[in-house]
Structure 1
Amino acid sequence: MDAVIAAEPGQGVVAAAAELSAEQESALLLRLYALAFAGVLAPEPSAASAAAQAEVAAAAVAVLARIDAHPRYTPRRPQLLPQLTRALNDPAAGAQAIAAILGQDPALAGNLLRIANSAAYRRHAEPIENLERAVALLGTEGLRQLVLAALLQPVIADDGSAFGRCAALLWEHTLLSAKATARHAEDAEREDPAAAQLLALLHGLGAVAVVQVVRDAYAKQPGLLPDAGLLAELLRDWTARVAEAISHDWALSERMRQGIDEQHRHVEPHALSSLGRSLRIGRRQAALALLDAAPG
């Protein structure tokens, strides 16, 4: 699937995201997931197929319920995260200091450059090809926005399958939602934008992990076509729980843990914490922006 080129959410999208009901949000996200399954045949509506789909769902849930026992799905806290977090929160730390930390890890630097040139973050016609140019063009604040996204970039198998496309799409959604969540937290909630961004990125890691678990469950049922609706249900029910499990040893603040917990408990909007509300609205804004940019 060609990459969906999504601009930052406009004012219309921002307003629409705030007004969605829970049912409308579920329908919106189902439409988003369906983009990855465009052109994939739907499973046959037979009793045998339904039974096989139920087996896949049960196998996936068994893994998701004990996701911390399956470390290949749960990335550990990056070693550079504390050092980078301190630098990002230090007003005296300039772009050069942040770039020096990034330079300790070539893979991290590569991730940052890829994200800097992605549709979600690219600001210039010319591609950014090295850290020095990134520092010159983006400045300290621009680097702050990119560093966490680069640090948490998951490994996504680009195998041409619907699941590979879905994981890539969900991470694109995550990058957009991280920006939107941080902006809403700072502008509307007077919250720490870096904490809000990290929350959205962790939520996205949870979504990618769910896709990978479901992919592996289908791999044990050769010939069974994937059901986009089944995947959507598992993403709805398990993404925040998996994100919570991933973050257990990440030393998150109580406010951040609450913000994730509220997502899978489907807390009513008026009862959400400020970070939880920012995450929900940011994810909606990103989904609307991606769907607006999708062809057809």
Structure 2
Amino acid sequence: MPGFFSWISGLFTSDEPVIASTPESRLLNPSAPVDDNSATDPALIDQLEENLFCWLLDSPPATLRSEPGQWEHVLGNLRGRIANQELDELPRQPMTLPMLMRALSDEKSDRHHLTKIILNDPALTDQLLQVANSPYFRPGDQPIDSVDQAVFLLGLDGIRNVISAAIMRPMMAARNSREALFAQRVWRWGLTCARSAELIARIQGQDTSVFFVAGLLPALSYITLRRELQRICRAEPGMTEAPPSLIHSALSRYQWATSQLLANEWNLPPKYHAQLLAAERPAPNQKQSPLNDGIIVGTREVLRHAHQRNMPEGDVLRIIHISGEQFTRVRKSILDVLEAGAKTRA
């Protein structure tokens, strides 16, 4: 995929010092709606992103800040691994993914063919049933007991998203107690952003499954980057654990580049790369991607539900590209699953 590799290499090739040449990538990249001259104070966007990292890393704002150049030797190591596609923690493509993607994109595929593919992978079968019965997907109070029932009840669009979440869930599961809270919160945030992007894409008549999968990739990139940092830090004299300020710097710099690497490693079609790039660098005066809006709405709502500082609703409505009534519908759907998830965890 020449376009992808030229993009990724362009991020990291420069004769300038590392600090100057490393772009400060932003997670939240809103653009003013077309025909709307209003603008949201960039400080509000920065604050929402900082609030997210405070919650994910369970740290106050002061611990997320570092001195200029403080971690550049570690970040430079990480930067080189990304540029050379040598991340040891980059999840490899699940074996059944290519076959599933072909079946899901083939209009001739029926649910029995899809069920057969899934049942040939016992681990995926277990994960799929767990995810299908989670508050984010189960269509009613009746439990889903079989893959065939899941495919029938959720339909092809719904099962695409369940499969995507089921494939990614084990990769985001905590490996140890140090990761536990971070992994649990990243998973919840990723699902909320993915669901928000999916709902907004449906409102706009776009391919919902593309935006659901793309909405999960930044969350998986956070887990990947944190684990890669731990590998690097264990090799550094006097370091055993990556401090919050280092993790924050790595996630905020390399979240989109790592999401692109994941999409490439999994051989996702070019449209996924295009949506990730559009979310990272939205073109001025063009319609904003549902992925941008979904991440903004999902971030705001998951923080609000967790009783964290977030963004006032009026500011959200000024930067997303759906109406107030549509936002209310999306928000209600998101809150319903967040509330149901809280009851399940309790």
Q: TM-score, normalised by structure 2?
A: 0.64
Of 85, 101, 116, the residue aligned with 2:117 is 101
Query: Which of the pair has more CA radius of gyration?
Result: 2
Deviations 1:56-100 (A, max 9, x none): x53144224323543432122323222212222234433333222
- The residue aligned with 2:252 is 236
Kindly indicate whether the alpha-carbon contact (under 8 Å) linking 1:60 and 1:213 is maintained by their aligned counterparts in 2: no
- The residue aligned with 1:200 is 215
Cα offset, 1:295, TM superposition: 4.4
Q: Which runs of 5+ in 1 are unaligned?
A: 1-16
Which deviates more, 35-44 or 60-69? 35-44
| Distance change (3 Å), C-alpha of 1:270 and 1:44 | closer
Cα offset, 1:152, TM superposition: 3.1
Show the 5 A alignment for 1:66-85: 66-67=81-82, 68-85=84-101
Q: SS state of the match for residue 93, structure 2?
A: coil
Q: Write the distance in 1 (CA, Å) between the matches of 2:52 and 2:214.
A: 20
For the pair 1:292 / 2:301, whether they are aligned, the reply is no
Letter in 2 for 1:187: I
| Distance change (3 Å), C-alpha of 1:140 and 1:246 | closer
| Distance change (3 Å), C-alpha of 1:61 and 1:122 | farther
- The residue aligned with 2:177 is 160
- The residue aligned with 1:114 is 130
Q: Write the distance in 1 (CA, Å) between the matches of 2:67 and 2:50.
A: 20
Show the 5 A alignment for 1:16-35: 22-35=42-55
Q: Write the distance in 1 (CA, Å) between the matches of 2:265 and 2:175.
A: 29
Of 210, 218, 243, the residue aligned with 1:226 is 243
Output the aligned Cα RMSD.
3.5
Letter in 2 for 1:35: W
Letter in 2 for 1:172: R
Of 270, 291, 302, the residue aligned with 1:279 is 291
Q: Write the distance in 2 (CA, Å) between the matches of 1:95 and 1:24.
A: 46
Cα offset, 1:185, TM superposition: 2.6
Cα offset, 1:263, TM superposition: 3.9
Cα offset, 1:225, TM superposition: 7.5
Q: SS state of the match for residue 54, structure 1?
A: coil
Of 141, 152, 176, the residue aligned with 2:192 is 176
Kindly indicate whether the alpha-carbon contact (under 8 Å) linking 1:218 and 1:226 is maintained by their aligned counterparts in 2: no
Kindly indicate whether the alpha-carbon contact (under 8 Å) linking 1:64 and 1:242 is maintained by their aligned counterparts in 2: no
Cα offset, 1:103, TM superposition: 1.0
| Distance change (3 Å), C-alpha of 1:271 and 1:92 | same
Q: Write the distance in 1 (CA, Å) between the matches of 2:291 and 2:118.
A: 27
Q: Write the distance in 2 (CA, Å) between the matches of 1:282 and 1:75.
A: 24
Letter in 2 for 1:284: I
Of 198, 206, 225, the residue aligned with 1:191 is 206
Cα offset, 1:150, TM superposition: 1.6
| Distance change (3 Å), C-alpha of 1:172 and 1:95 | farther
| Distance change (3 Å), C-alpha of 1:106 and 1:64 | farther
| Distance change (3 Å), C-alpha of 1:41 and 1:268 | closer
Q: Write the distance in 2 (CA, Å) between the matches of 1:183 and 1:169.
A: 21
Q: Aligned residues: percent identity?
A: 22
